[in-house]
Structure 1
Amino acid sequence: MADTATRAWDPAEHLDSEEDMAAYLEAALEDGDPALVTAALGDIARAKGMTRIAREAGLSRESLYKALSPNGNPELATILKVVSVLGLRLHATPAPAKLPG
């Protein structure tokens, strides 16, 4: 059997529009996993240019990479700055009612 060449899939390479980026972040938020939300923000920032995003957010590129890595734990203030610079908006909606026990 012949070996199949593979390469890592990078979501940042497929985030071509503002709508794609917003939908990607929305899906991560709906999942509810903080690490996934952080990683999604990192993917979007890389798609838009991490250096520019860091500069406009008032952060160093290195600290932004670290904060938005899958193991990062950014402060809410950092997330809000990055979301704003990315041209996105977070919003809240009522969660569906939980069914009794």
Structure 2
Amino acid sequence: MTERTKIADLPDFDAASYLDSEEDIAAYLTDILEANDGALLASALGDIARVRGMIEIAKSAGISRKALYKALRPDAAPRFDTINRVCVALGVRLVVQPVHG
């Protein structure tokens, strides 16, 4: 009989270790945006900010480190201004494209 692995026993996935370049970050955020989930976007930006250094991103975005952590926690709903400032600090920008289909 095959032994089943429980989901709770699996290690947590951390996208941060795969985000080595602006291209990787842009592709990751593009996929996240397609989910249309603000909390997921905040969490993804948090993953990226951890890779780049939260203190440095906070300084570049003009946000306190504490406010950045709060804005980018998984259950957060940050304002667009915060999202935009963090994206600029990360070296990426949000782009609008027409929806086909």
How far apart in 2 are the matches of 1:11 and 1:84?
20
Deviates more, 1:30-39 or 1:84-93: 30-39
Moved over 3 A (4+): none
Report how many residues are paired. Answer: 95
- SS of residue matched to 1:74: coil
Shift of 1:10: 1.6
Partner of 1:36: 40
Say whether 1:61 aligns with 2:65.
Answer: yes
Query: Of the candidates 72, 84, 87, which is equivalent to residue 83 of structure 1?
Result: 87
Say whether 1:74 aligns with 2:78.
Answer: yes
Query: Of the candidates 46, 52, 55, which is equivalent to residue 48 of structure 1?
Result: 52
Query: Structure 1 regions of 5+ residues with no counterpart?
Result: none
Aligned AA (1:83): C
Percentage identity across paired residues of the two chains:
50
Query: Structure 2 regions of 5+ residues with no counterpart?
Result: 4-8
Please provide the CA RMSD for this pair: 1.8
> What's the CA shift string for 1:30-76, capped at 9, x where partnerless?
11111111111111111111110001111111110110111111111
TM-score, normalised relative to structure 1: 0.84
